[in-house]
Structure 1
Amino acid sequence: MRRKRLFGLVMGTIAALLWGISGPASEMLFDHQVDVAWLISSKMLIAGVITMVLAWRLQGKTALLAPWRERRASGQLLIFILFGMLAMQYIYFKAVAVANAPTATILQFLSPVLVLIYVALQARQLPRRTDVLIIALAMFGTLLVVTKGQLTALAITPQALAWGLMAALAAAAYAILPAQLLKRHSPLVVTAWAQLLGGIAMTVVRPFWVDCPHLTIGQWGAYAFVVIGGTIVAYLLYLISLQYVSVTAVSLLDAFEPLGATVTAVVFFGFHLGFFELIGGTLIIITVLLMSITEPKAP
């Protein structure tokens, strides 16, 4: 049991790091006028086709079609595709585009707090005093990030703040929605259908073959990492981790996402993180450590 839990924690950690690194990579693309909708439609469709082939070869036709043979599972899968997979990807990358990768990722990292609130509501219990303290600490950390210490004025645009907070909500939904589905179906199968159908839906809105951006070799390399590392591998590992640890525990591993995004942005893209932003981001990460120590109940 401990080995399985450790395996799940490792898979979730790697997924968070890959997501974090893909943030600055996508920001580089947005800086060269790459459209967010184009990036989402193209990368989800490519990832969906590749993952679907893997699922068919490794799991077989029966397992691949299994979710659609159950009415309840079909509904859960469609809800997850729309409000989990598709929403999380589009909203997060939109937040990166209007703010920057570290800020967007730090704001998205509020998702464990939202999961904590969800767990309390599902259990029909008021949050514990420690939970209230954790939430207050997370809110104060967020305030420092978005104001850079000037508490009476925003240091980022209201648009960036709104997209960042919506990214946190979408990340929480992504963690919560597939929990029951993954108890009966392979994470590879769930990922394959979510990526493929989400990509098709997004392509209807924004066909990727229209106004395709002209990128350099380095930019195409960043795009390849976003598709492979930040989409195919990261989402698959995240869903695998949900099979071995609770949704609350997995959401705590998102601490590695702002870490990966910030380190990558500072080292490779010359991003400067201010003192109060650093303190605020650290406070948000501390809330996750506190949640782990106090062992909040899993749904």
Structure 2
Amino acid sequence: MHSSTPSSRSSARSLGLTLALVSAFAFGGSGTAAKPLIEAGLSSQHVVWLRVAGAALVLLPLAWRHRAAVLQRPGVLIGFGLLAVAGVQACYFAAIARIPVGVALLIEYLGPPLLLGYVKFVQRRPISRGAAVGAAVAVGGLACVVEVWNGLGFDPLGVLFALGAACCQVGYFVLADAGRRGERPIDPLAVSAFGLLIGAVVLTAFTRPWTADWGVLAGQVTMNGHHLPALLPAAWMVLVATVLAYLTGVVAVQHLSPPVAGVVANLEAVVATVLAWVLLGEHLGLPQLVGGAMVLAGAFAAQSSKPADDPARALDQAVAVTGSDPLPPTGADELRDQRPVQPNQSR
């Protein structure tokens, strides 16, 4: 069934890694773009709604072009919208209302190790040593990046919300990959477009955007002592940190494996910290520099691991074998009938 050549598999892997890096860098700029808007008067919940709803509007033509996907795999699209878009955002912002942002970020980025645990202990599929070591090193690096030791006063409910964000992040990787599995694969661009549309609808119900003072967007915001139009960071947050980030991230998962794409995604925290240093004047300390190096090392260890058996299965087992489509929290009935013929992949 795997008819691709080693060179084509290597090219797909390189493309996947490149897209995963682009996605991590794009996602990493969201906080830096959002902070001036929040400081100008918008609540964090309304900024999140602006981000998702704006991206959904931009991708509306793409969703219309791929409207057949709604009938092909509705479970995957609904699951992606609820978990990978609305779930991650809602849980994360509920968490930072109760616990330090750095602690919440670290807990959320336990997603890749949780994904590996799901693969190994729930699906009972082998994972590569490189992916496991890479995930462990990357999480250790994240502890340094966010300086977790500076904020250990945990609120139990806040921790639960952050863990919810981590679990939803697992859904991002699982469902992004599930779209290409089975007899009715769907375009990854359709997954992103409809996921953001569904996420925008869900977030609208919870954030009530009509109560926000959107006049802020017509004024100026301050970034590291410099004044700039509020629409500039808003546009960056929508077009780059959401549209570009989701599109490249979903396609990357389909060229890599979900565990490896998850580990590479940890670079988002490093990017966010560096951008905050450059654009917001939040300086990096030695622990954060060391942590950033550890995250880079972990991502490299994961993406450079080698297959352990039959070369014909190299594409699926090159990094971390996760088995055929798992049953995500939504759309389970649709995915249940897919046949686990070969060790396929399941953000």
Q: Please point out which of 212, 223, 236 is paired with 2:234.
A: 223
CA–CA distance in structure 2, aligned partners of residues 257 and 189 of structure 1: 23
Deviation at 1:223, TM superposition (A): 1.6
Q: 1:166 to 1:91 in 2, by over 3 A?
A: same
In 1, Cα distance between the equivalents of 2:267 and 2:131? Answer: 21
Distance 1:261 1:76 in 2: 29
- Which of the residues 51, 55, 59 maps onto 1:51? 59
Name the TM-score, length of structure 1 as normaliser: 0.80
- Take 1:261 and 1:229, find their aligned partners in 2: how far apart are those partners? 14
With over 3 angstroms needed to count, the CA separation of the structure-2 counterparts of 1:252 and 1:281, relative to structure 1, is same
2:40 match:
32
Q: CA deviation at 1:134?
A: 5.9
Q: Which moved more, 1:245-254 or 1:257-266?
A: 245-254
Is there any run of 5+ residues in structure 2 with no aligned partner, and where?
A: 1-7, 221-227, 307-318, 323-347
2:28/2:272 contact within 8 Å kept: yes
Q: Summarize the Cα distance change of 1:211–1:145 in structure 2 as closer, same or farther, 3 Å threshold.
A: same
Say if 1:51 and 1:188, in contact at 8 Å, map to a contact too. Answer: no
| 1:232 matched to 2:243 | yes
Q: TM-score, normalised by structure 2?
A: 0.70
1:142: Cα distance to partner?
5.5
Q: Secondary structure at the match of 1:15?
A: helix
Secondary structure of 2:176 counterpart: coil
Output one character per residue of 1:93-151: Cα deviation in whole Å (capped at 9) or x when no partner: 55667645x765555433222222222124415878877766665665555566655xx
The answer to which of 286-295 and 173-182 deviates more is 286-295
The answer (yes or no) to whether the contact 2:133–2:302 under 8 Å persists in 1 is: no
Q: Kindly indicate whether the alpha-carbon contact (under 8 Å) linking 1:15 and 1:233 is maintained by their aligned counterparts in 2.
A: yes
Q: Which has the higher contact order (CA 8 A, sep 6+)?
A: 1
Contact 1:20 1:105 in 2 (8 A): no
* Partner residue of 1:6 out of 14, 23, 35: 14
Structure 2 letter corresponding to 1:169: C
Secondary structure at 2:46's aligned position in 1?
Answer: helix
Q: Which runs of 5+ in 1 are unaligned?
A: none
Separation in structure 2 between the aligned mates of residue 128 and residue 244 of structure 1, nearest angstrom: 17
Q: 1:99 to 1:282 in 2, by over 3 A?
A: farther
Q: Give the structure with the larger helix fraction.
A: 1
CA contact (8 A) 2:103 2:152 kept: no
- Cα offset for 1:19? 0.4
Relative to structure 1, is the Cα distance of residues 141 and 124 closer, same or farther in structure 2, using a 3 angstrom cutoff?
same
State the distance in 2 between where 1:237 and 1:129 align.
26
Alignment of 1:195-206 (within 5 A): 195-206=196-207
In 1, Cα distance between equivalents of 2:159 and 2:87: 17
Superposed counterparts of 1:96-107, under 5 Å? 99-100=100-101, 105=105, 107=107
Q: Is the 8 A contact 1:44 1:195 kept in 2?
A: yes
Equivalent residue runs for 1:47-196 within 5 Å: 47-56=55-64, 60=65, 63-64=66-67, 66-70=68-72, 73-93=73-93, 99-100=100-101, 105=105, 107-124=107-124, 137=137, 140-141=140-141, 144=144, 155=151, 157-159=153-155, 164-183=162-181, 184-196=185-197
Q: Give the Cα–Cα distance (whole angstroms) in 1 for the partners of residues 57 and 173 of structure 2.
A: 23
The alpha-carbon distance between structure 1 residues 230 and 289, as it changes in their structure 2 partners (threshold 3 A), is same
Say which is worse superposed, 233-242 or 130-139, in terms of deviation: 130-139
Rg larger in 1 or in 2? 2
Query: Conserved in 2, the CA contact under 8 Å of 1:7 and 1:244?
Result: yes
- Residue type of the partner of 1:211? A
Structure 2 CA distance, aligned partners of 1:95 and 1:17? 23
For 2:165, give the aligned amino acid: A
Equivalent residues of 1:117, 1:127 under 8 A apart: no
Query: Percent sequence identity over matched residues?
Result: 25
